[in-house]
Each structure stands twice: as C-alpha cells, then as structure tokens.
Amino acid sequence: MARIIGGYFTSHVPGIGLAIAKGLKQDAYWRPFFDGLVPVQNWLNEKKPDVAIVFYNDHGLNFFLDTMPLFAVGAADVYHNDDEGWGLPVQQSFQGHPKLSWHIIECLVEDEFDVATCQKMKVDHAVVVPFQLAYPDAASWPVKIIPIAINTVQHPLPSAKRCLALGRAVRKALETWGGDEKIVVMGTGGLSHQLEGERAGFINKDYDLFCLDNLGPHPEALTQHSPVEIVELSGSQGVEILNWIAARGALGLANPLQKHRNYHIPISNTAAATLLLEPAA
C-alpha cells in the first residue's frame, strides 16, 4: 500500500513567484515568509516523497466561468506550466502518475463524487509556486503529481464539509492502491485575502489563526461555515482554504503532529502561511 508521509500546506500568491524571479527572497519584506519554508525544504529532502497529490484552484488556465467543474482530477502523463496573466516565468513541467490518477478517479466515482477527468491539463501558479518554495532551484521536480482542482471561484462553491469528504475519499482510494509510493498531500492557497472591490486588501488574522490551530487536530471545526460565510470571514480569495481542508482530509490522521508552522502578514496584500503535518511518532 502507498504510504502518506505528511501534509504540506502553503500560500500560492503570484507575488511570491515574482519575488523568486526577481531575487527578492532575502528582501526585508519577503524574508519572514521565505525563511519559514526552510523546515519544509529540509523535511522533504529527508523524506523524499515519490508523489504529491495537490489540492488547488485553477485561475482560468483550464477552466473559466462558463465551464467550471466543482472538482477536477488530472490523469495526464505530463503537466505543463503556463502563465495565466501575472507575468510569471514559465517553469519546468511536472510528470504525472496516470495509473494512480485513474485509480483515484474510479474510487471517487464509486464513492459518488462526480469529478471531471482531465487527460490534458496545464498547471498555473497555484501548483508551481508551492513547488518553487519546497524545492528551490530544482532543475526538475523530484516528484510526480496528481493535481485535484477545486472550484473556489464560481458560485455555488462546494462546501467545506464536502471538500473534507473529498479528501477522505482520496485517502480511502490510496489505501487500496497496490503501489509502494511515498506520498505527500498538498493544500495550496490563502489564507485570508481579497483582491478586488470595497474590501480589497482584507485580512482576518483571527480567522487565519483559527484555521491554523484547528486544521490538524479538529478539521471538522473548519466545516461549520458555509462557503459564503467563509468569504465573509476570509475574503473572496480566502475561500481557497477549501483546498487546505480537502488536503487535510486526504492526510487522514486522527491527531497529526504539527511539524512546522509559519504565519506572516502581509505578503502582497495576503495573509501568507505555511503548515507541515506528519504522523505522530
């Protein structure tokens, strides 16, 4: 059986990618965030996962408002990166794991999740930036990926409860997989932020800390709010916490160890955070 070695959760703000491209990681504005990734880099270097299952939200690269699935699972051999308008340098492609993707898809459908299956799929900054943070200066990505896109853009959005259930169904699928891969689950996005409208620049530190405090030991606490309530609490883009909730479900541990945590505001008008969870010894 494949073994999930832990969960890595982090922000995917395009500004982070631009800071990397411009060599600003040790700039006073950015350094508190980038320094918070060193323990994650060290952990990944030690654990050496083979596969990453990435819960993220697409920003118009594959899906737009006229065609927006609630959940979409990649089943491609390769995932090419492209920039959807932020001016980010295009990064190296990711290798897929189609056999495992199809196993997950089939199990999700059996568990009555109506997922879109993507045999061709590009990945944007929501996938690339977390990997740039985890594997700085990598000439090629050392893991295969299975991207799972969650709609956090076009209402109606999936509920936090449904996203947690999705993640748990992915975990259940992995328990029946015959391979011996070491797997890391990833949740990307957030935390609280809003890019437009009267609340542009909105940050809710209290809600962010509530999420960070409870995601590991009490993920159900994050499901008490409807998607609209999460938008009210965290901003229109802060609803990306749904990605973290789904990834937490896939982690599947009753009481994981918080290996590392970092929280810093603001980063490009965003509450930026990193969290690393692993099985307790």
Known catalytic residues are: 125, 193
Contact yes or no for 16/134 (Cβ under 8 A): no
Pairing of strands 116-118, 71-74: parallel
Task: Give the Cα separation of 220 and 223 in Å (integer).
Answer: 5
Q: What would the two tokens of residue 18 be? A: 């631009």
Sign of the alpha-carbon dihedral angle for 25, 248, 160, 148: positive
Output the 3-class SS for 177-228: CCCCCEEEEEEECCCCCCCCCCCCCCCCHHHHHHHHHHCCCCHHHHHCCCHH
The percent helix, strand, coil of the chain (3-state, each to 5) is 35, 25, 40
Q: What single-letter amino acid sits at 94?
A: F
Contact yes or no for 43/276 (Cβ under 8 A): yes
- Mapping DSSP to helix (H, G, I), strand (E, B) and coil, where does residue 60 land? coil
Contact yes or no for 208/257 (Cβ under 8 A): no
DSSP one-letter code for 151: -
CA angle 55, 51, 82 (to 5 degrees): 55
Residue 177, C-beta contacts closer than 8 angstroms, at least 6 positions apart? 1, 2, 100, 103
